[in-house]
Amino acid sequence: MAKGLLDQAARTHGGRVIAALAARFRDLDLAEEAFADACLKAAQVWPRLSSEGDGAPRDPAAWLYAVAQRQALDRLRRRVTRARHVPDPPEPPPSAEDAMTDDARLIPDERLRLIFVCCHPAVAPDARAALTLRLVCGLTTQEIARAFLVSEPTLAQRLTRAKRKIADAGIPFEVPGPEAWSERLGAVLSTLEVAYAKAHEDAAGAGAHAGYAREMLDLTAVLVELLPGEPECLSFAALVRYAEARRPARLDEDGAMTPLSQQDPALWRRPLIAEAETLLRRAARWRRPGPRQLQAAIHAAWCGRASLAEPAPWPTVLALYDALLTWRDDAVVRLNRAVAVAEVSGPAQALAEVDGLDSALFRDFGPFHAVRADLLARLSRGDEAVAAYDRALALDPAPAERLWLERRRAEVAPA
């Protein structure tokens, strides 16, 4: 019982506690170690808090923070002591009283500062998302390594290197000032986009990537709470909710991926869509459009569909992609736009646009070959379509995508 409560408390409050410790001591390692110490103490002490009846203090976050803070001071003292060779009296063990005297509201909320530290442009790009998930969301190294498809030692080394860079290079534990604001907020949002793309990639949701979709919902909720006046931030939070709302409809009964236009809107999670709509409306009110606002608007267009009987919103989607191109003209946006072009102007024009893209860039990008295959099939160019499906299948897609691709391929080339 206490174990479950402790895990839950660590997961829910860990980010906030670690952030507060890091802000106070300006030392990420110390913050992490002290928090781990506190969790260890909790595992020993909480089961004895039987007066509460449930084996947990009244206010787990406050308890963990109070104990971790003492542990951090203790560790610092030991560092100094080691240098002086004078033994120091140990801290009294944490007791049930800690549960009575503390209040989680007294923990300063430093998570925003911690997010800006983790996503600092001076931190290696491949470590930023991992560090944020580790420190702010409390994911384990193992969970993150699995999601990013790297070995655990590799990821652990990346995290260690990033933390050392933060400490040695003197990356400040501050929210950046106005002169650097847009660049730094951009770095934060790009980092979270990378993290979320990993969580979203796997349609099955049971795969390793989807493991922290829940944390991404929490993290974006924290961001909009802390930055209520940033439309791109609000828009990204909306986007994550729209995408997660559709998760139950992303697989059919055989476990194959269901394309967005064929998903049954009745399966979408309406409360999340409602949350997303509120966020996107708040973003729009600032009248400062940006790429993430347009991306969220594309999701909104889809999620506005009430049933499969309603026509798919392709013309709106195409218009939004056209607008998005003025903000973010990259090959992936153009590829997605081509899918809408196929529905609005026909597959021939869409194929012309897809073939105008840099094919070398997309050589190992499965979705590119899947889109091409579909367009070729619709133009009755069966052999070429089969070749493109084979190319997509050779790139080791997730099981749900594989099943869908195999099915489409079979329709074009009956065995």
Partner 1 sequence: MEYALVIYEDEAVYGEEGSQVWLDIFAQHEAFAAELVEKGLLRGGAGLKPTNTATTVRKVAGQHALHDGPFAESKEQLGGFYVIEVPDLDAALAWARKLPLTADGAVEVRPVLAGST
Q: How far is the CB of 394 from partner 1 (least distance, A)?
A: 39
Q: Does 205 bind partner 1 (CB under 8 A)?
A: no
- Please tell me whether residue 178 binds partner 1 under the rule CB under 8 A: no
In angstroms, the CA 54 to CA 324 distance is 52
Verify binding: residue 89, partner 1, rule CB under 8 A. Answer: no
CB closer to partner 1, 128 vs 198: 128
CA distances to 35, 326, 338, 355 from 361, in Å: 44, 21, 16, 12
Q: Which range, of 80-88, 97-105, 171-179, 384-392, touches partner 1 by CB under 8 A?
A: 171-179
Q: How far apart are CA 411 and CA 405, in angstroms?
A: 10
Q: What angle do CA 135, 245, 314 make, to 5 degrees?
A: 125
**Contacting range for partner 1; rule: CB under 8 A; set: 170-178, 187-195, 288-296, 387-395:** 170-178
Q: Does 87 sit near partner 1 (CB under 8 A)?
A: no
- Binding residue (CB under 8 A) for partner 1 from 4, 153, 172, 311: 172
Q: Cβ atoms within 10 A of the Cβ of 99, count?
A: 21
What three-state secondary structure class fits 251? Answer: strand
39 binds partner 1 per the rule CB under 8 A: no
171 is a site residue for partner 1 (CB under 8 A): yes
Place of tokens 């501050």: 174
Using an 8 Å Cβ cutoff, are 159 and 150 in contact? no
CA atoms within a 13 Å half-sphere pointing along the CA-CB vector of 168: 7
We find the least distance from the C-beta atom of residue 231 to partner 1, in angstroms, to be 24
Q: What share of the chain is helix, strand, coil (3-state, %, to 5)?
A: 70, 0, 30
Q: Which helix (H) or strand (E) holds 316?
A: helix 314-327
Q: Is 169 in the site for partner 1 (CB under 8 A)?
A: yes
* String marking each residue 117-156 x if it binds partner 1 according to CB under 8 A: ---x-x----------------------------------
Contact residue for partner 1 among 40, 100, 149, 180 (CB under 8 A): 180
Taking the complex as a whole, how short is the minimal distance between the CB of residue 176 and partner 1, in angstroms? 7
Question: Token pair of 312, please?
Answer: 């798919």
Regarding 40 and contact with partner 1 (CB under 8 A), the answer is no
CA distance 119 to 180: 13
Choices 105-113, 137-145, 164-172, 331-339; region in contact with partner 1 by CB under 8 A = 164-172
Of 85, 90, 93, 168, the one binding partner 1 by CB under 8 A: 168
> Of 174, 225, 310, 383, which lies in the binding site for partner 1, with binding defined by CB under 8 A?
174
Please identify, among the stretches 40-48, 61-69, 166-174, 241-249, the one whose residues bind partner 1 according to the rule CB under 8 A: 166-174
Q: Site size for partner 1, by CB under 8 A?
A: 11
Angle between helices 125-135 and 111-118 (to 10 degrees): 160
State the minimum distance, in angstroms, from the CB of residue 119 to partner 1: 13
Comparing C-alpha atoms, which of 102, 105, 123 is closest to residue 114? Answer: 123
**Contact (Cβ atoms closer than 8 angstroms) between residue 348 and residue 360:** no
Of 58-66, 165-173, 217-225, 375-383: span binding partner 1 (CB under 8 A): 165-173
* Shortest CB 236 distance to partner 1, Å: 24
Report the residue from 89, 170, 271, 414 that binds partner 1 according to the rule CB under 8 A. 170
Residue 93 gets which letter from DSSP? Answer: P
Q: Which is nearer to partner 1, 92 or 177 (CB)?
A: 177
Least distance in Å: CB of 184 to partner 1? Answer: 9
Q: How far is the CB of 171 from partner 1 (least distance, A)?
A: 5
Q: Is 47 exposed, middle or buried (0-12, 13-18, 19+ CB in 10 A)?
A: middle
Interatomic CA distance for residues 140 and 41, integer angstroms: 19
Structure-token pair, residue 362: 């997309």
Q: Is 294 in the site for partner 1 (CB under 8 A)?
A: no
Q: Is 106 in the site for partner 1 (CB under 8 A)?
A: no
Distance, in Å, from the CA atom of 64 to the CA atom of 77, rounded to the nearest integer, reads: 20
- Which range binds partner 1 by CB under 8 A, 32-40, 75-83, 169-177, 356-364? 169-177
Write the CA distances from 129 to 24, 148, 220, 224, 293, integer angstroms.
Answer: 23, 10, 13, 18, 21
Q: Which is nearer to partner 1, 123 or 199 (CB)?
A: 123
Rounded to an integer, what distance in angstroms lies between the CA atom of residue 28 and that of residue 163? 7
Per CB under 8 A, residues contacting partner 1 are: 120, 122, 168-172, 174, 176, 179-180
